[in-house]
């Protein structure tokens, strides 16, 4: 069981709710994923299309909402979105995203730290989205972050984990859960992150844009479970050369004489 800020989750696969073809496909896919934590975003009501599809599509008893602050370019904007999220009934959990550059969508470490401090002071449960920076990850934990969410690769890139060395340091040092976020493009990449000891992964694009999103969601669910089990079971050390897995003892020299 994964515990974040006192709340337990059976599934270590978190799923984003963007980019789905329809609300119906999203709902069915989330069910197929087994996910309990789902991320949502906040946007202006479209005045010409005011139906709130996501709130009608998702059972809040079944899916725990993790609202994000996507779109925020600095700490002030993140605070504004956080307060709006709470006012809209989104609760006090928050995936803190501060991304000043729309080209890279990489998180701003300074503004993220400032926002985390202020949000924690306002009673929010903060899960910051960060670059793969072990020092920042520790600083955010000092500020009261409930988890840290280092990216695997730029959002939507599907590249998988680009910096396993630094990510491993974050995981090794962490006093809170580590959720690998953004850029995971395949179940094998998710499994690899879990094998390293990540506590959970967040996937959106790879599931939402798959030809068969339900099947892909199930594939990710299996991969996350497999990766977690492998981590718990204990992986063997990597070796540079061959290490026979068949016994080399008990071979009589005479048996090989026929080659002479």
Partner 1 sequence: MTTSVAKGTGKHMQIILNGEKREVPGQSTLEQIIIALGLEKATIAAECDGSIVDRDQYAGQVLSEGMRVELIRFVGGGAC
Per CB under 8 A, residues contacting partner 1 are: 15-20, 26, 39-45, 47, 50, 52-55, 65, 67-68, 70-71, 83-85, 87-90, 95, 97, 99, 105, 129, 155-156, 181-182, 202-205, 208
- Both tokens of 112, joined, read 């993220």
Shortest distance, position 135 Cβ to partner 1, whole Å? 22
Question: Is 19 assigned a catalytic role?
Answer: no
The helix (H) or strand (E) run that includes residue 140 is helix 134-142
Report the length, in residues, of the chain.
Answer: 260
Active-site option among 12, 95, 139, 228 = 95
The helix (H) or strand (E) run that includes residue 179 is strand 179-181
Shortest distance, position 49 Cβ to partner 1, whole Å? 10
Nearer to partner 1 by Cβ, of 4 and 82: the residue is 82
Closest to 119 (Cα-Cα) out of 63, 67, 182, 181: 67
Nearer to partner 1 by Cβ, of 18 and 144: the residue is 18
* Sheet of strand 179-181, all strands in order from the earlier edge strand to the far edge: 13-16, 200-203, 179-181
- Note whether 184 and 190 are within 8 A (CB): yes
- Both tokens of 172, joined, read 């090794």
Nearer to partner 1 by Cβ, of 45 and 244: the residue is 45
Dmax (CA) for the chain in angstroms is 88
25's CB contacts (< 8 A; 6+ apart) are 213
Nearer to partner 1 by Cβ, of 25 and 218: the residue is 25
108's CB contacts (< 8 A; 6+ apart) are 73, 74, 98, 99, 100
Pairing of strands 2-4, 7-9: antiparallel
Shortest distance, position 180 Cβ to partner 1, whole Å? 12
Nearer to partner 1 by Cβ, of 56 and 245: the residue is 56
Beta-bridge partners for 68: 95
Shortest distance, position 2 Cβ to partner 1, whole Å? 19
Which residues are marked as active site?
A: 95
């Amino acid at each position: 069981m994964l515990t974040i800020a006192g709340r337990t989750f059976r599934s270590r696969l978190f799923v984003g709710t963007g980019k789905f073809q329809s609300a119906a496909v999203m709902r069915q896919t989330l069910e197929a994923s087994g996910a309990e934590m789902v991320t949502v975003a906040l946007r202006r009501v479209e005045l010409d299309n005011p139906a709130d599809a996501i709130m009608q599509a998702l059972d809040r008893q079944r899916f725990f909402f993790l609202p994000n602050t996507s779109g925020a370019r600095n700490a002030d904007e993140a605070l504004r979105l956080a307060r709006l999220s709470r006012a809209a009934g989104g609760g006090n959990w928050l995936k803190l995203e501060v991304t000043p550059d729309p080209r890279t969508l990489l998180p701003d470490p300074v503004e993220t730290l400032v926002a985390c401090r202020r949000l924690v002071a306002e009673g929010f449960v903060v899960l910051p989205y960060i670059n793969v920076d072990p020092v920042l990850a520790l600083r955010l934990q000092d500020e009261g972050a409930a988890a840290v969410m280092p990216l695997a690769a730029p959002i939507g890139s599907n590249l998988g984990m680009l910096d396993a060395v630094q990510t491993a340091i974050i995981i090794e040092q962490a006093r809170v859960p580590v959720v690998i976020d953004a850029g995971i493009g395949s179940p094998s990449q998710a499994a690899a992150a879990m094998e390293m000891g990540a506590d959970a992964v967040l996937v959106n694009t790879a599931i939402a844009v798959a030809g068969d999103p339900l099947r892909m969601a199930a594939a990710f669910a299996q991969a996350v479970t497999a990766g977690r089990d492998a981590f718990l079971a204990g992986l063997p050390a990597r070796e540079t050369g061959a290490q026979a897995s068949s016994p080399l003892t008990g071979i009589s020299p005479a048996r090989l004489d026929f080659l002479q």
